[in-house]
Amino acid sequence: MTKKGVVLVLFWFLSLISLSCAATLSVSRQKIQVRNHLNRLNKPPVKTIQSPDGDIIDCVHMSHQPAFDHPFLKDHKVQMRPSYHPEGLFDENKVSDTDTEKPKQRSNSITQLWHTNGKCPQGTIPIRRTKEEDVLRASSVKRYGKKKHRAIPQPRSADPDLTNESGHQHAIAYVEGDKYYGAKATINVWEPKIQQPNEFSLSQLWILGGSFGEDLNSIEAGWQVSPDLYGDNNTRLFTYWTSDAYQATGCYNLLCSGFIQINSEIAMGASISPVSAYRNSQYDISILVWKDPKEGHWWMQFGNDYVLGYWPSFLFSYLADSASMIEWGGEVVNSEPDGHHTSTQMGSGRFPEEGFGKSSYFRNIQVVDDSNNLKAPKGLGTFTEQSNCYDVQTGSNGDWGHYFYYGGPGKNPNCP
């Protein structure tokens, strides 16, 4: 071999070693990043509960929860109860036994799966433990537990391309044009089928302030199926918040500093059980989010019995005052696998016209006004990007107040 040939072989060999070292360093750096992030999220537990679905629930002392990693919360005194509940919260009518179209009971009881194996002591809160594989499924450690930018339904948008730019599709009811201080709904719980692991299906309420640009404030709560976030297809309770349109601030559940939990019985991100079945038992959950008129924090209540905690008002700009829009409904990610619409289901996977026991519903939807009263929504609008894929239909009666059926199968002959 010539001298030149030897040099080239040597150069090629050194390049391979260099690339190999760089790749090893990159993997090592990522492992360190992931480990550090897990150490930040997973606080030392007082007790650990193994859930039947594979989750580990850590009972963490209330004062050690992730919220208190926030610099503004270092000396925060936890508020153990809201100063005020909204007026009219416990005034809902009992369901009439003569109403054949609606369930005979107000709701079948729903719990979280981990409850079958134990409960957390008083003074602690249950936190779903984040595992290494959870973080590795995210596009980066920094983006773990965050929604993608522009994931919000924009009913007012004049440009239909803008609303589907992110591949997110919605079927929602909404109100706007006033000042809102909270929202409530009872949401039918299902386990929709997800076609691709990077897609999700959720049903939630949105409390929104600001514009749909870079400064949107949002508080969100409901149920979701998200293989990417949780590593399975279980239906789970979730919350979300952002103060800058999903860019740098906010996260799901307790996956960053923000929401302060005070409840020892309900775990954010844990599986809900049981779920509704087609032409069978129907299950629903009630969610209320409202602004405490005295302290200004945004509180969340799950069902009639569980006040979960609050988002401190300083997290937000517009929502520090009030919300300008409330939305209720479903959202899915349509990644258009193979160039076709996804077959990821929204709600029950059935269209609204099929009605009770078949399609999914929101009932007793209300807003909180500036006098801290729960009121029926005025001027309820609806919005969906493609009604032949997912749709929404509103109605009202004595038992369910303002309600709507929503959802659909995604891909079908009219939605190719």
pLDDT tens for each residue of the chain, 416 residues long:
676 665 555 666 666 665 555 555 566 787 899 999 999 999 999 999 999 999 999 999 999 999 999 998 988 999 999 999 998 876 654 333 333 344 443 456 778 999 999 999 999 999 999 999 999 999 899 999 998 766 667 776 434 434 455 689 999 999 999 999 999 999 999 999 999 999 999 999 999 999 888 889 999 999 999 999 999 999 999 999 999 999 999 999 999 999 999 999 999 999 999 999 999 999 999 999 999 999 999 999 999 889 999 999 999 999 999 999 999 999 999 999 889 999 999 999 999 999 999 999 999 999 999 999 999 999 999 999 999 999 999 999 999 999 999 999 999 999 99
Q: Which residues contact 62 (CB under 8 A, 6 or more apart)?
A: 78, 123, 124, 125, 261, 262
From 331, 336, 353, 385, active-site residue: 331
pLDDT tens for each residue of 145-192: 998 766 667 776 434 434 455 689 999 999 999 999 999 999 999 999
The gap from C-alpha 162 to its chain's centroid, in whole angstroms, comes to 22
pLDDT tens for each residue of 301-345: 999 889 999 999 999 999 999 999 999 999 999 999 889 999 999
Distance CA(187)–CA(192), nearest Å, equals: 14
Q: Phi-psi category of 336—alpha, beta or left, where left has phi over 0 and alpha has psi -120 to 50? A: left
Residue 267, token pair as written in the block: 């775990």
Residue 291, token pair as written in the block: 């602004």
Q: What is the pLDDT of residue 75?
A: 87
Q: Which residues contact 77 (CB under 8 A, 6 or more apart)?
A: none
Classify residue 408 by its DSSP letter.
B
Neighbours of 368 (CB within 10 A): 28
> Is pTM, for the whole model, over 0.85?
yes
From 92, 191, 199, 220, active-site residue: 220
Q: What is the pLDDT of residue 178?
A: 96
- The DSSP line for 326-342 is EEEEEEEE---GGGS--
- Reduced 3-state DSSP string for 121-168: CCCEEEEECCCHHHHHCCCCCCCCCCCCCCCCCCCCCCCHHHHCCCCE
Residue 25, token pair as written in the block: 């360093």
Q: What angle do CA 21, 24, 26 make, to 5 degrees?
A: 110
* b/e map 246-267, b = 16+ CB within 10 Å: beebbbbbbbbbbbbbbbbebb
3-state secondary structure of 108: strand
Of 181, 153, 272, the C-alpha closest to 222 is 272
265 part of the active site? no
The gap from C-alpha 71 to its chain's centroid, in whole angstroms, comes to 25
92 part of the active site? no
